[in-house]
Amino acid sequence: MADPVPEPVIGIIGGSGVYDIEGLEEAEWREVRTPWGLPSGELLFGRLSGVRVVFLPRHDRGHRLSPTDLPYRANIDALKRSGCTEIISLSAVGSLRAELPPGSFVIVDQFIDRTFARQKSFFGAGCVAHVSMADPVCRRLGDALEQACRDLGLPHRRGGTYLAMEGPQFSTRAESELYRAWGCDVVGMTNMPEAKLAREAELCYATVAMVTDYDCWHPEHDHVTVELVVKVLFENAAKARALVARVVPALGERRTLCHAGCHTALENAIVTAPEKRDPSLVARLDAVAGRVLGLEARGEA
Ligand SMILES: CSC[C@H]1O[C@H](OP(=O)(O)O)[C@H](O)[C@@H]1O
Ligand SMILES: Nc1ncnc2[nH]cnc12
């Protein structure tokens, strides 16, 4: 029997400066527990134009958590457990290209992961899986975001490579130049392993990288500071809110599984023989991989 098509529920991860979503109907903040610990903070449940939305402020309200300390696995599990089928990540980034000035939005399509102090997989000893990351961003979500940017006349670019660095310190000038030489377009500290975990959890994922600064490579611009990032972010916030309000109803129209394959990413990805699987790890995978492991998720939805 074909898999049932889950109702579109749009997860939104808000980055620096985006700690709330205004105008949600039936809005309610709720704690969601996961087998990977607590997520960054409470999640905001509600509806936009009738479409279910679950919002998670990545660093928690009040920006309590640094990029290294974020509970990446709990965040993605909590969104999946809450019924989310797709995730839009809103992220502040530094620009590595002169033609991407502060205020531009980049719908990135590739990542380079230079982080090193984070848990990067739900799987491991006792249940090993290898998913494809060749195309880490859902092109269907990318299409919808691009269309919404166009409709709203927002300065945007479709496509670009996001360099994920460990932080929390900003880059040295030599690192910034290295990332430019590698062909990267923007730099941030949070989208990895977020994108990898979303893929493992069979969730569509796309990032709107909102440029706040020119990092430290540009000879004619001040190097990045938190003050600069926050100032531009507040200018970007209204645009981000309008973008979300525009894209959510469009995403709510999906009536089939994602045609880009995100919802079936775990098909044939688990290599551990059934009799060699660790039952305790398998139990923790109830929400993330329950579909392929034949488990019932202890849902929140
Ligand atoms: C406050 S500037 C650095 C901070 O901003 C970005 O976070 P997010 O992706 O959550 O918007 C960047 O990755 C750093 O974590
Ligand atoms: N220049 C930069 N480097 C890393 N993360 C950022 N977030 C915003 N600006 C950034």
Residue nearest to atom 13 of ligand 1 (CA): 189
Is-catalytic flag, 109? no
Identify which has the larger pLDDT, 298 or 84: 84
| pLDDT, mean of residues 133-138 | 98
What pLDDT is stored for residue 3 in this prediction? 62
- What's the domain range around 86? 9-292
Structural domain contains residue 17: yes
What pLDDT is stored for residue 149 in this prediction? 97
Structural domain contains residue 301: no
Structural domain contains residue 4: no
Is the per-residue pLDDT at 55 higher than 70?
yes
Structural domain contains residue 1: no
Question: Of 109, 185, 213, 286, which one is the catalytic site residue?
Answer: 213
Is the per-residue pLDDT at 300 higher than 60?
no
Identify which has the larger pLDDT, 224 or 72: 72
CA of 222 to the centre of ligand 1 (A): 18
What pLDDT is stored for residue 112 in this prediction? 98
- At residue 294 the predicted structure's pLDDT band, cuts being 50, 70 and 90, is confident
> Number of folded domains in the chain?
1
When mean pLDDT is compared across 91-105, 181-195, 224-238, 262-276, the lowest value belongs to 224-238
CA of 283 to the centre of ligand 1 (A): 33
What pLDDT is stored for residue 299 in this prediction? 58
Average pLDDT, the chain: 95
Q: What is the pLDDT of residues 227-266, one digit of tens each?
A: 888 889 888 888 999 999 999 999 999 899 999 999 999 9
Residue nearest to atom 8 of ligand 2 (CA): 93
Structural domain contains residue 297: no
Is the per-residue pLDDT at 86 higher than 90?
yes
Is the per-residue pLDDT at 179 higher than 50?
yes
The DSSP annotation for the chain comes to -PPPPPPP-EEEEE-TT----TT-EEEEEE---BTTB--SS-EEEEEETTEEEEEEETTTTTT---GGG--HHHHHHHHHHTT--EEEEEEEEEE-STTS-TT-EEE--EEEE---SS---S-BTTB-B----SS-S-HHHHHHHHHHHHHHT--EEE--EEEE---SSPPPHHHHHHHHHTT--EEESSHHHHHHHHHHTT-EEEEEEEEEE-TTT-TTSPPP-HHHHHHHHHHHHHHHHHHHHHHHHHHTT--SS-TTSGGGTTTTTB-S-GGG--HHHHHHTHHHHHHHHT-------
Residue 234: which CATH number? Answer: 3.40.50.1580
Question: Of 77, 113, 215, 286, which one is the catalytic site residue?
Answer: 215
Is the per-residue pLDDT at 95 higher than 80?
yes
| pLDDT, mean of residues 91-106 | 97
Evaluate if pTM is beyond 0.90. yes
Is-catalytic flag, 113? no
ipTM of the complex: 0.99
| pLDDT, mean of residues 37-47 | 98
Structural domain contains residue 217: yes
Ligand nearest to the CA of 173: 2
CA of 229 to the centre of ligand 1 (A): 9
- At residue 2 the predicted structure's pLDDT band, cuts being 50, 70 and 90, is low
Which residues carry a binding-site annotation for substrate?
189, 213-215
Is the per-residue pLDDT at 48 higher than 60?
yes
Structural domain contains residue 168: yes
What pLDDT is stored for residue 153 in this prediction? 97
Structural domain contains residue 298: no
